[in-house]
Amino acid sequence: MRKILATALAVAAVSAIGIADVQAKTMKVQASSGSGDWAHRFMTDGWQQKVGVMTGGSLELEVLATKAVVPHRETIDAVANGILDGDLNAVSYFAGRDPAFGIIGDLIAGYDTPEQVRMFCQEGGGKEILQKLYDKHANGQVHVVGCGPYTKEALVAKVPIRTVEDLKGVKIRSPEGLAADVFRRAGAAPVSLPFSEVFTSLDKGIVDAADASAFVNNEASGMHKIAKFPIYPGIHSMAVLQFIVNKDYWEKLSEQERTVLEVWYVAAYTTMLRQADLQDRDLVAEYKKSGEVEIVDWSKEDRQKFREIAVAAWEDAASKSDLAREALDAHLSFMRRVGLLD
Residue 56 is predicted with a pLDDT of 96
| Pairwise CA distance, residues 36 & 151, whole Å | 18
Environment class of 336 (CB within 10 Å of its CB; exposed 0-12, middle 13-18, buried 19+): exposed
Residue 24 is predicted with a pLDDT of 55
Low-confidence ranges of the chain (pLDDT < 70): 1-24
pLDDT digits (tens, 9 = 90+) for 257-284: 999 999 999 999 999 999 999 999 999 9
pLDDT digits (tens, 9 = 90+) for 3-32: 544 444 343 444 444 444 445 599 999 999
pLDDT digits (tens, 9 = 90+) for 157-197: 999 999 999 999 999 998 777 888 999 999 999 998 877 78
**Cis-peptide into 230, omega within 30 deg:** no
Residue 44 is predicted with a pLDDT of 96
The answer for 216, left when phi > 0, alpha when psi is -120 to 50, beta otherwise, is alpha
Q: Is the C-alpha dihedral spanning 133, 136, 142, 145 positive or negative?
A: positive
| Fold exhibited by the domain 26-150+238-279 | D-Maltodextrin-Binding Protein; domain 2 (3.40.190)
What are the angstrom distances between the C-alpha of 135 and each of 76, 103, 143?
Answer: 12, 17, 9
Within 8 A by CB and 6+ apart from 253, the residues are 59, 261
Residue 289 is predicted with a pLDDT of 95
Per domain, the residue ranges of the chain are 26-150+238-279, 155-237+293-331
Residue 175 is predicted with a pLDDT of 75
Which amino acid is it at 245? Answer: V
155-237+293-331 to CATH, choices 3.40.640.10, 3.40.50.300, 3.90.580.10, 3.40.190.170: 3.40.190.170
Q: Are 176 and 255 in contact (CB under 8 A)?
A: no
Torsion angles phi and psi, residue 181, rounded to 5: -65, -40
Q: Are 143 and 244 in contact (CB under 8 A)?
A: yes
What are the angstrom distances between the C-alpha of 163 and each of 154, 166, 299?
Answer: 15, 5, 8
Domain 26-150+238-279 and domain 155-237+293-331, same fold? Reply is: yes
**Collapsed DSSP state (helix, strand, coil) of residue 39:** helix
Sheet architecture: strand order including 209-211 = 155-157, 209-211, 171-173, 189-191
